[in-house]
Amino acid sequence: MLRTIVVVCALGTPLSAQALVPPDFKEPPSDFTAEIEGGFQLNTGNTNTTSFNGRTKLVYDTVTAKQEATMKAYYAADSQSATSERYDLQLQSNYKLDSGYVFGRGDATWDRFGSYTRIYTISSGYGFDAINNSKTNLSLEVGPGYRYNLAIATDSAPDPAASTDVILRSAAIFEFKMQEYTSLNAAITSEVGAENNTIALDMSYKNTLFQDWAFTIGTVMKYTQVVPDGTKQTDTITTIGLLYTFQ
């Protein structure tokens, strides 16, 4: 009698209930990932200042190609007016080869208070992974490009003319997973031209707080050899924020 009851219950149980999802089941990885980062600071009282930084990164990575788009925004103001306002846009397409990849890239910077208020660069070339393992990745890129610069207006040059330059761009992109929840990223980019030379460092530290949320600290430094009179050769931006990653 007991055996008959067990058989009847088993036959009467829906198939969806019998096919339980394993506890370690994970969705298959997606080709698309995105990161959204933001930081905000507001000071009142003896000092009235406001600052904001934001970053959005979109990546579509397939077997044959990889597309990346990064947008950054920086803004700061005191009680009187804005003191910093800058926007960066970076687009890159990598087409994978048996060894390495070829790429096309575009960079645009709008910087209201920078030594150059408009900087547009296009480049292409070849890149490869010099190191690639579970913890460390180092990619190297090199190729020719073209750069457009518009200097900020100064007393000596109230209506500056734009300058153009053929450049050689080289970059080293480093990613290091320090442990399960922390990682360090750094990118060094050099642009060498007949009219001007630049070198930039974009470095960030990420510490995962829980699930898809992480705490980040970042530094962006850029050195420009030739700048308008009255402006500085080195610009530095330091950011602190929260990062959300989704797939």
User: Tokens 């904001």, residue?
Assistant: 52
pLDDT tens digits, residue range 30-56? 789 999 999 987 777 766 889 999 999
Token pair belonging to 107: 């960079």
* Dihedral (CA of 157, 161, 162, 163) sign: negative
Token pair belonging to 179: 């442990």
Strands (E), 7-81: 32-43, 49-61, 65-78
pLDDT tens digits, residue range 52-102? 999 999 999 999 999 999 999 999 998 889 989 999 999 999 999 999 999
Instruction: Report CA Rg, the chain.
Output: 25
CA–CA distances in Å: residue 120 to residues 152, 155, 168:
15, 24, 14
94 close to 66: Cβ distance less than 8 angstroms: yes
Q: Which of 3-17, 52-66, 121-135, 219-233 has the lowest mean pLDDT?
A: 3-17
Residue 191: pLDDT band with limits 50, 70, 90 = very high
Domains and CATH numbers, the chain: 31-246 (2.40.230.20)
Q: Which helix (H) or strand (E) holds 7?
A: helix 2-12
Q: Which residue from 144, 147, 148, 209 is spatially nearest to 170, judged by alpha carbons?
A: 144
| Residue 54 φ/ψ, nearest 5 degrees | -140, 150
Q: Three-class SS of residue 63?
A: coil
Rounded CA separation 139/174 (Å):
7
pLDDT tens digits, residue range 129-174? 999 999 999 999 999 999 999 999 988 888 999 999 999 999 999 9
Q: What is the mean pLDDT of residues 192-210?
A: 96
